């Protein structure tokens, strides 16, 4: 059975950076499920479909073929065969991805793909519903979070040059609005699974968070081992 590590948490908690580093250390693949919802959102924006129009999004989502591949160990997201890894990181796509991720048909399609990946390979998978819905039997579940202010500050420091005029308050407002939408949707809302380890990184460096995660993965690995 492949090892499945589920990492969930709100926007900007540092899940992807930490998950990627941990996956690399243990030789697992890293699956960023947010990138799949982002690719779906990009498809809708390109087709000029309003992300708020559930019927139109659900009808169109069948036409968006989303897949992942790995280049030098780094996840690449393909949308109908085109590598869109760079295009999905804009604020517009962030907002649209949170909207389209609330719809059942979108989630059903992407969850199926996520489960297939986790069934075949050892994975560290991050998202919002991995421990609660996608991989309820994961070997380890972690809920990684930090205060909204700390998360906004981290995002603010990493803003690309193209967004130089954006203020810290705006980043925090954006993050808080997206968390609210992700936590209040009906299907698979963002929440901590009952059996998830809570890791609050508000007062931790990235290195400290990664070290804690590595220890948790090591413990989970020895629990799952037959003793051979
Ligand atoms: O992790 P991210 O910021 O790239 O995710 C973008 C959006 O996708 C997020 O606001 C909610 C949605 N998402 C989700 O609903 N379920 C997941 N497993 C991952 C992301």
pLDDT tens by residue, 46-101: 999 999 999 999 999 999 999 999 998 899 999 999 999 999 999 899 999 999 99
Q: Is 227 left (phi over 0), alpha (psi -120 to 50) or beta?
A: left
pLDDT in tens, 149-174: 999 999 999 887 777 788 999 999 99
Percent of the chain with pLDDT over 90: 89
Cα gap 127→185, rounded to integer Å: 15
> Does ligand 1 come within 6 angstroms of the Cβ of 33?
yes
Residues forming beta bridges with residue 125, ordered by sequence position: 6, 31
pLDDT at residue 227 in the model: 47
Instruction: Indicate which atom in ligand 1 lies nearest the CA of residue 94.
Output: 6
Residue 200 pLDDT greater than 90, yes or no? yes
pLDDT at residue 225 in the model: 58
Cα gap 155→136, rounded to integer Å: 30
Which residue, by CA, sits nearest to atom 13 of ligand 1?
A: 34
pLDDT at residue 174 in the model: 93
Kindly give the distance from the C-alpha atom of residue 59 to the centroid of ligand 1, in angstroms, as a whole number: 20
> Does ligand 1 come within 6 angstroms of the Cβ of 145?
no
> Does ligand 1 come within 6 angstroms of the Cβ of 185?
no
Cα gap 29→177, rounded to integer Å: 30
Which residue, by CA, sits nearest to atom 11 of ligand 1?
A: 98
Instruction: Indicate which atom in ligand 1 lies nearest the CA of residue 8.
Output: 18
Sign of CA dihedral 119, 121, 122, 128: negative
Which residue, by CA, sits nearest to atom 18 of ligand 1?
A: 127
Contacts of 124 (CB under 8 A, 6+ apart): 5, 7, 19, 20, 22, 23, 26, 28, 29, 30, 31, 217
Q: What mean pLDDT value characterizes the chain?
A: 95
- Order of strands across the sheet with 29-32? 29-32, 123-127, 4-8, 140-145, 197-200
Cα gap 130→147, rounded to integer Å: 21
Contacts of 158 (CB under 8 A, 6+ apart): none
Structural domains of the chain, ranges and CATH numbers in brackets: 4-226 (3.40.50.300)
pLDDT at residue 158 in the model: 85
Rg over alpha carbons for the chain, rounded to the nearest Å, is 17
> Does ligand 1 come within 6 angstroms of the Cβ of 38?
yes
Pocket test for ligand 1, best of 6, 37, 88 (most atoms within 8 A of CB): 37
Residue 190 pLDDT greater than 50, yes or no? yes
> Does ligand 1 come within 6 angstroms of the Cβ of 34?
yes
Q: What is the pTM of this model?
A: 0.95
Kindly give the distance from the C-alpha atom of residue 162 to the centroid of ligand 1, in angstroms, as a whole number: 23
Question: Beta-carbon neighbour count of residue 162 at 10 Å?
Answer: 8
Which residue, by CA, sits nearest to atom 20 of ligand 1?
A: 34
Cα gap 113→91, rounded to integer Å: 25
Q: How many residues does the chain have?
A: 228
């Amino acid at each position: 059975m492949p090892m499945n590590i589920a990492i969930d948490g709100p926007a900007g908690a540092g899940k992807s950076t930490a998950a990627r580093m941990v996956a690399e250390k243990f030789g697992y693949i890293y699956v960023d499920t947010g990138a799949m919802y982002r690719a779906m959102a990009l498809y809708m924006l390109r087709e000029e479909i309003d992300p708020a129009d559930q019927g139109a999004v659900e009808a169109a989502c069948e036409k968006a073929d989303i897949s992942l591949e790995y280049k030098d160990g780094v996840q690449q997201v393909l949308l109908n065969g085109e590598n869109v890894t760079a295009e999905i990181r804009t604020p517009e796509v962030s907002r649209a991805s949170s909207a389209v991720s609330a719809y059942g048909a979108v989630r059903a399609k992407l969850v199926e793909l996520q489960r297939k990946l986790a069934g075949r390979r050892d994975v560290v998978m991050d998202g919002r519903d991995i421990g609660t819905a996608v991989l309820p039997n994961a070997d380890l579940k972690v809920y990684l979070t930090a205060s909204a202010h700390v998360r906004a500050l981290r995002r603010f420091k990493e803003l690309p040059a193209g967004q130089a005029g954006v203020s810290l308050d705006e980043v925090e407002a954006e993050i808080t609005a997206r968390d609210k939408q992700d936590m209040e949707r009906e299907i698979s809302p963002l929440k901590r699974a009952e059996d998830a380890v809570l890791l609050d990184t508000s007062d931790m460096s990235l290195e400290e968070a990664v070290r804690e995660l590595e220890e948790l993965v090591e413990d989970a690995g020895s629990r799952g081992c037959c003793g051979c």
